[in-house]
Amino acid sequence: MEKATFGAGCFWGIEASFSKIEGVASTTVGYAGGSFKDPTYKDVCSGKTGHAEVVQVEYDPSKVSYEELLRVFWNIHDPTTLNRQGPDIGTQYRSAVFFHNPEQEAAAAASKQKLQSSGRYQKSIETEITPASEFYRAEDYHQQYFEKCGIPH
């Protein structure tokens, strides 16, 4: 199993999208990319911790490639909006790929460049590609939120 970590706005929807992919063993929502130890949801929402809402995906690379996970990532949000997805505004909603090894870094950079060159977006892609930092698991009530609340996705 390998890990991949993505930020693309509110983590509930991101998790729901990745959890449906064959080869994904588990998804966990949490916080990454900040400087505050053991942040809570309230801390992250303050915008003062530097964390992004993320989903950490554990996947079997023999069943799904990292490139396929990147394809899903690019398709589930607007990577041209800085610190915003839909009505959610703040640095915690930024578009980010947190890579776990040099291969993921190279694949993320190549896919970002390919997407930027494709003409799909008129604006510049704002997605950060940065080393995976400490991952803090979000509170239990955030995990598999859509399923718990009966929200179709």
pLDDT digits (tens, 9 = 90+) for 53-89: 999 999 999 999 999 999 999 999 999 999 999 888 9
Tell me the CATH number at 126: 3.30.1060.10
Q: Is 149 in the active site?
A: no
**Domain count of the fold of the chain:** 1
Write the pLDDT tens digit of every residue in 140-150. Answer: 666 775 565 66
Mean pLDDT, residues 89-106 taken together: 97
The boundaries of the domain holding residue 36 are 2-149
Residue in 4, 8, 10, 32 annotated catalytic: 10
SS3 of 46-105: the string is CCCCCCEEEEEEEECCCCCCHHHHHHHHHHCCCCCCCCEECCEECHHHCEEEEECCHHHH
Q: What is the model's pTM?
A: 0.92
